[in-house]
Amino acid sequence: MNNLSTLHIDALTEVFNVGAGRAALSLSEIVGDEVRISVPSVQIIKSDEINSVVLSLNSGRFGAVSQHFSGPFNAEAMLLFTEEQALKIVRDMMGSQMSIEELAEFENEAMCELGNIILNACLSAMADILNISLESSLPNYTVASADEILQRIREDSNQPYVLVLHIDLAIEKRHTAGNLVFLLSSASLINLVTHINRFLGTIS
Amino acid sequence: MSIPEVNRFDMQDVLNAIKLGLIIVDTDGKILLWNDWIAKHSGIEEADAFNQQLENVFSEPISPTFLTAIKNTLTYGLPVILSTALHRAPLPLYDTSETNQAQTRMHQSITMMPIRSQLNEPCCLIQVTDSSTSIKREKMLRFHSDILKKQATTDSLTGICNRRFFDEHYKMALADAKRQKHLLSIFMVDIDFFKQYNDHYGHLKGDEIIKLVANTLKSQLSRGTDIVARYGGEEFVVVMPYLPQKIAEQFAEKLRNAIFNLAIPHIKSDASHQLSISVGFCTGIPDIDDDMLKKADEALYLAKQQGRNQCVSIPPYETLPELSIDVFMNKL
């Protein structure tokens, strides 16, 4: 936990902004319009200290796309948007050409894809910049309340650290904020720090 | 000696029997696996696809996102999803059971997974499912749910809106009128001496009369904003926004006349010897505490008290004791 200096956080922020840029590019191709994604801040906290303020979770339901990934460090990555915002993003992306746009099953699948694009972009940026290779499960989409999400994060005693990325996503005129959460074990956090140190070593 | 489970089946047979499209390409985009499902829906035999470049094997173009996704899967070893909603049909695949010539591409859900060959070559496994069936199923469910929704809000005898629908509609219409301070009119309608009609002419005739009255009232409405609902046994309610007092009074009369002019004999009616209705209504801009339905019901009570076959109105803000003077009345 204390191993992460401002320098580490800055490096991670840079890595994830590269990822966000890649995700935006992929999404623009699909939407056919400009998509902007940025990661204004990265935080690392103990999972038992996580609360609804950190994740800016208010009341209501949230759409969560999660992927487990493994490599030099393992983590569960979870992308969180309010369900309402998630649906709006997906509907914007689908545009009006789809006659099936109101069908729930396809919205879920599209949400999975949106999450997959953002998560993969962040993971691939990490892989490129930190010079590592990562494997990942297929994304899974669930809808849950803020309490259920917090409980899921806190209960996982194997992964006591949480890396929180605040994400700003703008598709056409709609502006949305979400969070990308990485649940990390102590060993994984140490390995992550080692890789960041190696990266910082190469550029200094 | 038993055969080990793994070798019991030829994997090629399994891959070809499966109801899922499977393609494997290597890092050069060369096709290493092309199962029967893909062959059937693309119209391209395995022999013609094997070892060919995926981009060149189809006579129609493949979507660029699809090719980028393969590249990403191969470069980073991360799985990729291409959803039906966002991509619809990246590959030129068709439903072979459709006979018409002008075919449209099959809706597809695609998953790409990194996979390694036995020679440790990084490859990309592409799985394609036909989502047309899911779309059909969802549409069917939606269709059924629409029917059920309609049934849940329709009165089975008359086909007009039922009480459940009215309760919801009234709540919203009243809240709307209060918020936007616009005019709202509620008309309560009761068939005069309906019990006597039933007793004399029988229940089947009674049901017919209820249907006839319901449809006659409904035919008086022409705007999309207006509704008529069956409130109870022989009671109906009409909700109409934006009617000035004078027009509301005329409309109440119009309803009464419409039924009276049917000239249905009702020899047990003390109001007249033909079928008639009493109308109580409340019209105006409701204040925050006003319950216009209650007022319309009080007006209906007055109309009955005063001899039926007539229309009585009470403004939203007045209470019963004061109104005996101001009552709008229209006797025959």
Q: Please name the member of A93, A120, A127 whose beta carbon is closest to the beta carbon of B80.
A: A120
Residues of chain B above pLDDT 90, percent: 70
The pLDDT value recorded for residue B323 is 45
Does the CB of B68 have a partner CB in chain A at under 8 Å? yes
**Per-residue model confidence as pLDDT tens digits over A72-130:** 888 889 888 887 777 777 777 776 444 444 556 677 888 899 899 999 999 999 899 99
Chain A residue at shortest CA distance from B90? A30
* B141 chain-A contacts, CB cut-off 8 A: none
Is the pLDDT confidence value at B329 over 60? Answer: no
Question: Which of A38-42, A60-64, A95-99, A164-168 is the least confident region?
Answer: A95-99
Q: Please name the member of A90, A107, A136 whose beta carbon is closest to the beta carbon of B79.
A: A136
Q: Please name the member of B78, B107, B138 whose beta carbon is closest to the beta carbon of A123.
A: B78
Q: What is the mean pLDDT of residues A35-61?
A: 80
Residues of chain B above pLDDT 70, percent: 92
Asked if residues A191 and A4 have their Cβ atoms less than 8 Å apart, the reply is no
Q: What is the mean pLDDT of residues B155-168?
A: 94
Is residue A172 left, alpha or beta, with left meaning phi > 0 and alpha meaning psi from -120 to 50? Answer: left
**Per-residue model confidence as pLDDT tens digits over B219-244:** 999 998 999 999 999 999 999 999 99
* B109 chain-A contacts, CB cut-off 8 A: 109
Q: Nearest to residue B69, comparing CAs of B16, B11, B17, B128?
A: B128
Asked if the Cβ–Cβ distance from A138 to B138 is below 8 Å, we say no
Q: Nearest to residue B290, comparing CAs of B189, B168, B186?
A: B186
Distance CA A106, CA A111 (A): 8
The pLDDT value recorded for residue B319 is 54
Chain B residue at shortest CA distance from A137? B79
Confidence category of residue B330, pLDDT binned at 50, 70, 90: very low
Is the pLDDT confidence value at B248 over 70? Answer: yes
Phi and psi (nearest 5°) for B267?
-70, -15
Is the pLDDT confidence value at B54 over 90? Answer: yes
Is the pLDDT confidence value at B324 over 80? Answer: no
Chosen from B83, B108, B111, B137 to mutate, greatest number of chain A CBs within 10 A: B83
For the record, the structure tokens of B38 come out as: 């893909």
The pLDDT value recorded for residue B149 is 85
Active site positions of B, annotated: 234
Asked if the Cβ–Cβ distance from B139 to A103 is below 8 Å, we say yes
Asked if residues A124 and B76 have their Cβ atoms less than 8 Å apart, the reply is yes
Chain A residue at shortest CA distance from B135? A100
Nearest Cα of chain B lies from the Cα of A95 at a distance, in angstroms, of 9
Confidence category of residue A178, pLDDT binned at 50, 70, 90: confident
Distance CA A97, CA A101 (A): 9
Rg (CA), chain B: 35
Confidence category of residue B99, pLDDT binned at 50, 70, 90: low
Distance CA B213, CA B208 (A): 9
Confidence category of residue B263, pLDDT binned at 50, 70, 90: very high
**Which is it for strands A61-70 and A135-136: parallel, antiparallel or unpaired?**
antiparallel
Coil, strand or helix: which one is A95? coil
Asked if residues B299 and B280 have their Cβ atoms less than 8 Å apart, the reply is yes
Confidence category of residue B4, pLDDT binned at 50, 70, 90: low
Greater confidence (B4 vs A27) lies with A27
Confidence category of residue B305, pLDDT binned at 50, 70, 90: very high
Does the CB of B12 have a partner CB in chain A at under 8 Å? no
Q: Where are the alpha helices (DSSP H) in chain B?
A: 11-17, 36-42, 46-49, 54-57, 64-76, 84-87, 132-152, 163-180, 194-201, 203-219, 245-260, 292-305, 323-326
Asked if the Cβ–Cβ distance from B86 to A29 is below 8 Å, we say no
Q: What mean pLDDT, rounded, does chain B reach?
A: 89
Q: What is the mean pLDDT of residues B315-331?
A: 53
Phi and psi (nearest 5°) for B308?
65, 180
Q: Please name the member of A29, A69, A103 whose beta carbon is closest to the beta carbon of B135.
A: A103
Is the pLDDT confidence value at B332 over 50? Answer: no
Partner residues linked to B116 by β-bridges: B122
B297 CA to centre of own chain: 32
CB atoms within 10 A of CB B233: 12
Q: Nearest to residue A50, comparing CAs of A17, A78, A90, A9?
A: A78
Distance CA A86, CA A115 (A): 10
Distance CA B164, CA B232 (A): 11
B281 CA to centre of own chain: 31
Distance CA B144, CA B138 (A): 10
Nearest Cα of chain B lies from the Cα of A103 at a distance, in angstroms, of 7
Distance CA B238, CA B227 (A): 6
Asked if the Cβ–Cβ distance from A135 to B114 is below 8 Å, we say yes
The pLDDT value recorded for residue B87 is 85
Chain B residue at shortest CA distance from A22? B72
Identify the helix (H) or strand (E) that includes residue A151: helix A146-155
Confidence category of residue B1, pLDDT binned at 50, 70, 90: low
Q: What mean pLDDT, rounded, does chain A reach?
A: 82
Distance CA B29, CA B26 (A): 5
Distance CA A88, CA B268 (A): 62
* A105 chain-B contacts, CB cut-off 8 A: 134, 138
State ipTM: 0.82
Question: What residues 145-204 of chain B have any CB closer than 8 A to a CB of chain A?
Answer: none
Q: Please name the member of A26, A112, A134 whose beta carbon is closest to the beta carbon of B83.
A: A112
Nearest Cα of chain B lies from the Cα of A94 at a distance, in angstroms, of 5
